[in-house]
Amino acid sequence: MQNPKSKYEDIKLISQLGYGGFSTVWKAQVKSTNEIVAVKKVSNEYTQKAALEISVLRRCKHKNIIKYFHTFSKDGEIWIIMEYCAGGSLADLIKKKSLNEKQIAYISREVLEGIEFLHSLNIIHRDIKASNILLTEDGQPKISDFGVSVWMSSEEKKQYTQIGTPLWMAPELITKQGYDQKIDIWSFGITLIELAEKNPPYSNLHSVQAVMLISKNPPPQLTANVWSKEFQYFVSLCLIKLPSLRAKAQDLLKESFVKNVKDQSNEIKELISFPLSDSFTVDESKSTLESTVDPDDVLSNHFSYDLHEFDEDEKKDLIIDLGALCEDPSLIQENLAIFKKNEETNQKNEDDEEEHQISIQIPRKIKIDFDLLDKHELQTILEAQTESMQKVIKNIQIKYEEFLKPIQEAIKKK
């Protein structure tokens, strides 16, 4: 008997919606039904990331979370088939339109219900922001992009991996104190400011500077006087720096700001009725489904920044602050030595990136519960991982042969 989901393997790609560090996202059509879907194509080199996202999506059947349909392997990539949201992301929307307080309250309630559902499953999204909240054609908000999400087992109390998009990151995540689901609430609060004022706090600063200010400064607030005290209070509940005092999703849903709001989907639908293209481009996310992995914007395995942007004193301060942030004294000494060398020689070669870059490696472990995947998905992941490993082995063999060749030629001459 044919798997009913196999229809998703016979699809026609229509247009590319966006791209990230390890995947591309496409608008596509199922040939047998003409259904429009979104396809996330993940390189086989990132099989673990794909498996993690699939395992999370399979569990998340909720009206405010993007629907997952099917997974298969094709052309050296894992294809993840998901719901297509024709309205684009909230980040797309606020670039063209302004939201009033009622509309923000409605979006807040819908997104919070999705977050509450995720947290009930011990899932942390870790990248809540306007570009990761999509809108259906009918104005229904949907949480998307689970590429950096994590599932916490009952034994785990805290996570320590430093990952996310800096401007939306919670202080406890930045300072590596250990965190739980409450970091999503902080990101949600920053997203509310983003929706109200079209940009998150510190958006005018370099991401590394912003990260340090987030951890040191008091919580940000709504700056415009046009917003009600009720809205301002609601935001303040999300942005309490001490995680133990920060509100939970279920508590926020009891607040009058969202509790009494009427359905605004028709109003949202009117806002998104502007001509839609097949490519949505926003600041941090060139995809309506996934965050662009930019080494200057995303703290995951690695980030770097250009020392040319700062004066001599700022360079020293940033090197020391970054070393302290990552709790790595050797990093401070290493980069100060590079700085001193550049200072002494006074050589500022614009083309020499290595002399002017600070790079920080942050180890990251991906935990996947393979029991959550069905047999077909497991087979897809296995095939993709095997193919990826074979490429690695082949590359090693080629390099090994290149290394041996001159030695063998030298031996023949003897």
Annotated binding site: 41
Identify whether 184 is a catalytic site residue.
Answer: no
CB 133 within 8 A of CB 280: no
The DSSP bridge pattern shows strands 133-135 and 357-361 to be unpaired
CB 107 within 8 A of CB 90: yes
**DSSP-assigned beta bridge partners for residue 304:** 359
Catalytic option among 75, 92, 127, 351: 127
CB 293 within 8 A of CB 21: yes
> Which letter does DSSP use for residue 290 in this model?
S
d(CA 209, CA 372): 39
d(CA 365, CA 404): 35
List binding-site positions for ATP.
41
CA angle 84, 91, 133 (to 5 degrees): 45
- At residue 195, the 3 state secondary structure works out as helix
Measuring CA to CA, which residue among 323, 326, 353 is closest to residue 335? 323
d(CA 23, CA 154): 31
d(CA 127, CA 149): 8
- The neighbour count for residue 233, using CB atoms within 10 Å, is 12
Give the C-alpha distances (Å, rounded to integers) separating 87 from 38, 268, 287, 289.
Answer: 13, 9, 13, 12
d(CA 191, CA 167): 10
Cα dihedral 318, 324, 326, 332, rounded to 10, equals: 60
Measuring CA to CA, which residue among 337, 380, 373 is closest to residue 355? 337
Residues carrying an active site annotation: 127
